[in-house]
Each structure stands twice: as C-alpha cells, then as structure tokens.
C-alpha cells in the first residue's frame, strides 16, 4: 500500500509488514473518512500513536490530553501529512466534571455533527507503594483520572455516539486490572474498575447492536509510563506503541466500517490481550 502519510510515519510502516493480509487490504487511506474519534492521552505514548494512525486512514481525531504542547505537536503532524480535520482538547482529566464534558459534547456536535469512536488511552500510574502507606489524596487523583473521567466521558458523549452509525468504545487496560499485584495500588484498582465499566457498557448496548465496547491490554510497551513503572528496564526490549496499531485499527475499522474487514470481530465486551492478538 502506498500512502503519503504512512511514508512519513516509519514507526507505523515498520509494523505493517506483520499485519494479517486481511487488514492490510482493508486499510486504505480513506477507510475511516467521515469517522470522528476521540482519543484521550493523545499527546504521548499509545494514544499519540493511535491518533496519528487513525488520521493516516482518514479519521478526524479529537485529541484530548493534559499537555497542550504535546497535543499541538500531534495536531501539526496530522495536518501536515493527512487531509483530515483534527482538533485539540487540552484537559486535565483529574479535574474533569460533568459541565466540562457537556461543553465538549456541544463543541464536537457543532464542529462535526456526530461521533463514532471513543478511545480511553489516558491514565496515570500514581505511586507504587503498599496500600497501607498509600496517600488518600493520590488514591483519589488516580481513580478520578483513570475511572471517574472515563465514566463521565462515556456518559456525556454517549448520545453523540448513539446517533445511528456504528460506534466503538475502547478502554485501554492493564494486566494488573485482571490480576492484582503488590504495590500497584490505585492504578491496579482503577484498571479493575475500568474492566467493569467496559463490560457493563457492552452489556447495556449489546441488544441495540450499534456500539461495540472492548478493553485492550497492551502489555509492556515502550512509553513514559512504562519507564516510570520500571526505571531499570531496558526500553529497547519492549515493543513500540505502533506495534499495537494493527489490533486497534482492526477493532475500530471493524466496528465502524464493518464491510471493510473480512474477519469476525471479538464479541462486544471482550477483554483483549494485544500480545496474543497476532500470536
């Protein structure tokens, strides 16, 4: 496949050789034209890779994140290399409230008219210390960012997602959201809660059949958060965020443009381990 944007994204291009052929055939530069997708944590790591990748395949991406300069860098790359229409939404999810979510929904509605995807990549690690020493204020901040903000965004953007087109909500989770681990404190508890949110929303939307909901565990990935969690680890031993883009694109393109992907999607509500997807 030739594509200007992808030619300017060598980290993604290097991973595409490993994609199954059904995906490579489906993913033309126009695959996601007219699809609007919110990506939280879009300024760095997995969210940044996903925002750029979605734009490479035609989606208009709403780039939500904490640090304006990081979001602007992603915005500039997308504008330079793709014909899509991104917007940036600087937002500290630790401070998110329902009024802010309503204002976001209104601005998405007036700018784009609708929304098809919502991907929750943003999260914070918090301290890695025993529960008995865990500071209550940091517990609250991690839970607010990793769980409460996800609940508020899913709730406040739901009507926009539920306007008739197929939709998709992805929750980026973690192994410590499936099996608790000492010293992972609020981060681990927040990912258990995120798995619950994902399954509940999937169950509540399954009968209508328009919105698919998944949790995705990327496993160890070369990002700032991983460095914070494992400062002594050699980052070169870890996959880059773009390694996971085949899976994210499979789930999003498969959900939003079902005719393009000639492969059944996992059932809505599934917990997906990115490391097993291509195995």
Asked if 43 and 66 touch (Cβ cutoff 8 Å), the reply is yes
Residues 95 and 223: their CA atoms lie apart, in Å, by 24
Interface with ligand NAP, residue 220, by CB under 6 A:
yes
Answer yes or no whether residue 224 interacts with ligand NAP by CB under 6 A: yes
| Least distance to ligand NAP, CB of residue 180, Å | 14
Least distance CB 151 / ligand NAP (angstroms): 15
Using CB under 6 A as the binding rule, whether residue 172 contacts ligand NAP is answered as: yes
The rounded distance, in Å, linking the Cα atoms of 263 and 244 is 18
Q: What is the DSSP letter of 219?
A: -
Is residue 215 involved in binding ligand NAP (CB under 6 A)?
A: no
Is residue 109 within 8 A of residue 162, CB to CB? The reply is no
Residue 223 as a binder of ligand NAP (CB under 6 A): the answer is yes
Task: Decide: is 70 part of the binding site for ligand NAP (CB under 6 A).
Answer: yes
Q: What CA–CA distances, in Å, run from 38 to 41, 77, 93?
A: 10, 17, 14
Among 105, 124, 152, 170, contact with ligand NAP (rule: CB under 6 A): 124
- Could you say whether residue 121 binds ligand NAP (CB under 6 A)? yes
The distance of closest approach from Cβ of residue 269 to ligand NAP in the complex, given in angstroms and rounded to an integer, is 18
41 makes contact with ligand NAP (CB under 6 A): yes
Dihedral, 54, 55, 59, 62 alpha carbons, nearest 10: 90
Give the position of tokens 């059932």.
Answer: 267
Of residues 175-194, which lie at the interface with ligand NAP (CB under 6 A)?
none
What whole-number distance in Å separates Cα of residue 37 and Cα of residue 35?
A: 6
C-beta of 29 vs 156, nearer to ligand NAP: 156
Q: Please say which residue, 143 or 202, places its beta carbon nearer to ligand NAP.
A: 143
Site for ligand NAP contains 86 (CB under 6 A) = no
Q: Is 226 in the site for ligand NAP (CB under 6 A)?
A: yes
- Given candidates 58, 65, 86, 269, which one binds ligand NAP under the rule CB under 6 A? 65
Alpha helices for the chain (secondary structure H): 4-7, 10-16, 21-26, 45-56, 68-81, 98-111, 136-143, 149-161, 185-206, 224-229, 245-256, 274-277
Check residue 84 and report its DSSP letter: -
The residue whose two tokens read 């904490």 is: 66
Q: Is residue 169 a contact residue for ligand NAP (CB under 6 A)?
A: no
Contacting positions for ligand NAP (CB under 6 A): 41, 43-47, 65-67, 70, 91-94, 121-124, 145, 172, 174, 218-221, 223-226
């Amino acid at each position: 496949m030739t594509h200007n944007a992808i030619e300017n994204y060598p980290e993604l291009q290097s991973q595409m050789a490993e994609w199954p052929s059904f995906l490579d055939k489906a993913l033309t530069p126009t695959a996601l034209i007219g699809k609007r997708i919110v990506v939280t944590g879009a300024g760095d790591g997995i969210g940044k890779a996903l925002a750029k990748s979605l734009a490479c395949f035609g989606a208009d991406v709403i780039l939500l994140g904490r640090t304006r300069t990081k979001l602007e860098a992603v915005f500039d790359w997308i504008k330079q290399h793709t014909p899509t229409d991104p917007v940036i939404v600087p937002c500290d999810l630790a401070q998110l409230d329902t009024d802010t979510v309503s204002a976001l929904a209104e601005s998405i509605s007036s700018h784009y008219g609708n929304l098809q995807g919502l991907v929750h990549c943003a999260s914070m690690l918090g301290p890695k210390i025993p529960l008995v020493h865990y500071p209550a204020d940091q517990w609250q901040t991690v839970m607010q960012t990793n769980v409460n903000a996800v609940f508020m965004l899913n709730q406040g953007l739901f009507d926009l997602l539920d306007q008739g087109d197929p939709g998709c909500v992805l929750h980026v989770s973690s192994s410590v959201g499936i099996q608790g681990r000492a010293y992972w404190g609020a981060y681990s508890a927040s990912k258990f809660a995120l798995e619950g949110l994902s399954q509940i929303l999937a169950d509540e939307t399954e009968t209508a059949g328009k919105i698919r909901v998944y949790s995705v565990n990327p496993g160890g990935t070369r990002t700032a958060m991983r460095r914070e969690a494992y400062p002594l680890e050699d980052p070169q031993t870890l996959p880059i965020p773009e390694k996971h883009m085949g899976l994210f694109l499979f789930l999003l393109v498969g959900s939003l443009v079902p005719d393009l992907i000639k492969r059944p999607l996992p059932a809505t509500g599934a917990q997906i381990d990115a490391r097993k997807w291509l195995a």
